[in-house]
Amino acid sequence: MKTFKFTVYLLLATMFAGSMVSCGDDDNPVDPFEAKEKEFAEIIPQYVNNTVIATYRELADATISLYDALVELKENKTQANLEAATQAWIASRIYWEQSEAFLYGAVADFGIDPHIDTWPLDEPAFNSTIRNVDFIESMSGDDGDVWVAEHLGYSLLGFHGIEYILFAGGHTKDIASITDNELIYATAVSGDLRNQCVRLEASWAGIDKVSSIKKNLIEDLELVITPSNSALSYGENMLNAGQAGSTYRTITDAAVAIIEGSLTISTEVGEVKIGTSYNKDDVNYIESPYSYNSKVDFIDNIRSIENAYLGGTNKAGRGASIGDYVKKEDAALDGKVRAALQNAIDKIDAIPYPFAVNYASTQAGEAMDACAELTDVLIEVKTLLQQ
């Protein structure tokens, strides 16, 4: 009897202890959303600081160098200085195209994308502008960069107006073929290009985190670098996701925005940058047609997606990333993303050079398909992040 009672008590005690553990677990369950938010909270700073701001800083520096090279060329017209200017243009294109996975925030709010990267160039309007004595006089002044921003349309500003002056048929022009008026125009437009790219860096990093030269430029030109309804920089806005004052309701929303930016450019490369001419919708709608830099532009767009997905850049270093999260949750999907990125790069690279001549090639169609496949995989990633 005693043994029986002891056994019963032991069983009841065990059951009671179990119920206490179970009750404790129910009272403090693991919240999957909070766990995901915590993971994303480690990813966002790497993306903001070492992908977005790092890329915009390189872009701002490169466009400052481009402006300086064109000033030197205007003052001293030599073939060597022209070659230096063309190399500076090519270098600045890298960082702009590698920023296109984040064509939101300041670049969208301030209309900077169409301002500096509209194509094709309006050649008739360009020729008219170059012959206008009053226009050239206005461009040649100390505030020529401000004048062109206020008086020239998007189809005459930015990278491609400068490209038209420096390049022809994929080669640097002969210095003798470039007029003084063209160099006045190129210098003024490159000054405006520089201003907009410095503005991008400051808008994400904050005015106090850019060099004194850039800070003075922003302040002298009175360029707006924060949204009208917020004192936060765009970087702070994303870093503060989930907190009061941020436009991102949750940290997950910010993570999803990273992939949505990538989706936007993967679709654009395939359907617009390649597809518009390939499908004969507009055979003149070709990016960088004078320098024959189109394929490099397209590949750098895919690199921008790669940087957004892997966190950081090759130069700034890698760190916590969306890719890390996807690999942990669905290793097969992560493998698909990485394969799709490389496939898109390989297929674009396989288009016969130059794209401006070979836009209707079989390889161009295959590159379109590869970009579509990348888009489909990125949609899967977005779905995973939202679960």
pLDDT above 90: residue 10 = no
CA distance 267 to 334: 19
User: How many C-beta atoms surround the C-beta of residue 376 within 10 A?
Assistant: 13
Q: Stretch 117-138: mean pLDDT, rounded? A: 97
> Coil, strand, or helix at residue 313?
strand
Residue 11 has pLDDT above 70, yes or no: no
What pLDDT, in 10s, does the model give residues 315-355?
999 999 999 999 999 999 999 999 999 999 999 999 999 99
Q: Which two tokens stand for residue 107?
A: 């670049």
230-257: average pLDDT = 96
Statement: residue 18 has pLDDT above 60 = no
In this prediction the pTM is 0.92
Assign 33 a pLDDT band (cuts: 50, 70, 90).
confident
Sign of CA dihedral 265, 267, 270, 274: negative
Indicate if the pLDDT at residue 16 is higher than 60. Answer: no
Question: pLDDT exceeding 70 applies to what percent of the chain?
Answer: 92
What's the DSSP call for residue 98? Answer: T
Q: In a 10 Å sphere around its CB, with 0-12 CB exposed, 13-18 middle and 19+ buried, how is residue 121 labelled?
A: buried
| pLDDT higher than 90, residue 273 | yes
pLDDT digits (tens, 9 = 90+) for 97-108: 999 999 999 999
- pLDDT class of 27 with cuts at 50, 70, 90: low
Q: What is the DSSP letter of 171?
A: E
